[in-house]
Amino acid sequence: MTKYTVVSPRVGTPGAEFDADLAVMRGANIEALVAGGFIKVSAPKPAKNAKKDIDTNEE
Amino acid sequence: MATTTYLSNPDVTIATVNLRDQCTAATLTRTVEALESTAFGDTARFNVGGLENNELTLTLYMSYAATETYATLASLVGTQCNVLVSPQAPTTPNTYSATNPGFILTGTYLESLPVINATMGELSTIDITFTGGSSSVDVS
């Protein structure tokens, strides 16, 4: 699921996550908000370090 | 004494975009069309309620800057959207009450947008009208 970040204070607190589902329920056009610069697609979080998933405990 | 003085607080949200700081006047009229039901034997005209025919008129300063008036409205012309007007901006966003109701038009239609309204030496303003849509009041 695509996540969005608030850019313009007209739609929320800048930097906060934009609740697209709630906005759509309230009649927002997400594509228009992105095109107008009100919100932006959040950058995907960096993948978790693979080493963390490996059990290095030799016991 | 029943008076309401508007100073600076009314809230105007169009398709989730808050344009309060560009708006100088808002009139939302809830109308239920009168259908005449007068019949033989009546001595006066009577009506029953028909379809809702609501309307919201806004006066806005025109701005072509990013995320301002034009950027908000340009994509809405010829489409339906939701609008919300309340007497005061709620301290907590989207939280309204009986004494500060949020008046909502759902699926209201923006037929036209004046893209230029220029007069020498004056701030540019536009009047837009949203027509139709179902009316509700948020007091939660």
Is B134 contained in some domain? Answer: yes
B134, β-bridge pairs: B106
Give which of B11, B12, B16 to mutate to test A binding, by max A Cβ within 10 Å.
B16
Per the CB < 8 A criterion, the answer to whether B35 and B53 are in contact is: no
Is B105 contained in some domain? Answer: yes
Q: In this predicted model, which residue has the larger pLDDT, A10 or B8?
A: A10
C-alpha–C-alpha distance, residues B88 and A12, integer Å: 17
Summarised one tens digit per residue, pLDDT across range B50-68 is 999 999 999 999 999 999 9
CA distances, A15 to each of B7, B38, B66, B92, B96 (Å): 30, 60, 17, 18, 25
* pLDDT surpassing 70 at residue A55: no
Judged by a CB distance cut-off of 8 A, whether residue A27 touches chain B is: yes
Give me the pLDDT at residue B73, please. Answer: 96
Is B3 contained in some domain? Answer: no
Give me the pLDDT at residue A57, please. Answer: 63
C-alpha–C-alpha distance, residues A13 and B121, integer Å: 35
Task: Name the domain count of chain B.
Answer: 1
Query: What average pLDDT does this structure show over B12-17?
Result: 94
* pLDDT surpassing 90 at residue B134: yes
Query: What average pLDDT does this structure show over A33-45?
Result: 89
Q: In which band, very low, low, confident or very high, does the pLDDT at B89 lie, cut at 50, 70 and 90? A: confident
Comparing CA positions, the residue from B63, B68, B76 lying closest to residue B107 is B76
Among B35-39, B63-67, B95-99, which stretch is predicted with the lowest mean pLDDT? B95-99
Give me the pLDDT at residue A44, please. Answer: 76
Is B5 contained in some domain? Answer: no
Residue B21 maps to which CATH number? Answer: 2.30.110
**Tokens linked to B139:** 């007091």
C-alpha–C-alpha distance, residues B104 and B85, integer Å: 7
CA B93 remoteness from chain centre: 18
Per the CB < 8 A criterion, the answer to whether B70 and B64 are in contact is: yes
- Give the predicted TM-score (pTM) of the model: 0.84
Q: If you count residue pairs, one on A and one on B, with CB atoms under 8 Å apart, how many are there? A: 50
Tell me the shortest Cα–Cα distance from B8 to chain A, in angstroms: 16
Domain range for B17 is 11-138
Give which of A5, A26, A30 to mutate to test B binding, by max B Cβ within 10 Å.
A26
